[in-house]
A and B are shown apart, each in its own frame.
Chain A
């Protein structure tokens, strides 16, 4: 893959939650698999994340949440993307997200929810299969 055609992915940590072990492992795993990865660092507001996604012209955003604030923050991020005309960016997520929240998150536009214990390869393969360069 030359750098022109490389798929660009933003790994983002919304909210105040500081658990970044998983986000960093996934970022590294995707980078090792040949993707171009940008990591926002911690404590990002939904506005900061969506701005970064648009400015960096990414093809996908991976959201990581482990402290229970996904129910407020994820829908807000999706809404802001829609407002910015960036709904074609694929959004996936991981962390501690209760099963009962998955159906409505998927309905709201999150394309995948990865649980703790997911293999790096599994997440990488999902991205390979589901993320294409945006037009």
Chain B
């Protein structure tokens, strides 16, 4: 017999439906898959302790991200002197299957996609963690400027300016992909 409350079930649904997003953000923070998995687990465990207080209609997603960020920074402060590991590029999840745009014919498309992803990972790694954070939260996860500001505990204007500068840097680093006729077959 299921004894879970409706709120609890709604909360579990929020956790599971946001798992991909949480994992991506964790991966961005810790830069290796094993630690990212641990961070997601810890975030879920912590959030479950407060699950009874969860009310449907609240922004659970932003709340989960804020919990994760706080756990990461608390662990990071405890473990290190503030340095961020630099091997993120090699550890970024390579299982992306969402690149659905049919730009190039197979298998050449696959080859180019992998090359492009490598360059994107390198370009992201060259951004500071502050800039990467806003790209991940606003662009990849679709948070509004206001929600991103709450998660990162910074003003909305700072979110906006960091995002604009980060996008400009990424565009500059990746523009070669769009200057060499590789997208000629794009519909």
Query: Do A and B bind?
Result: no
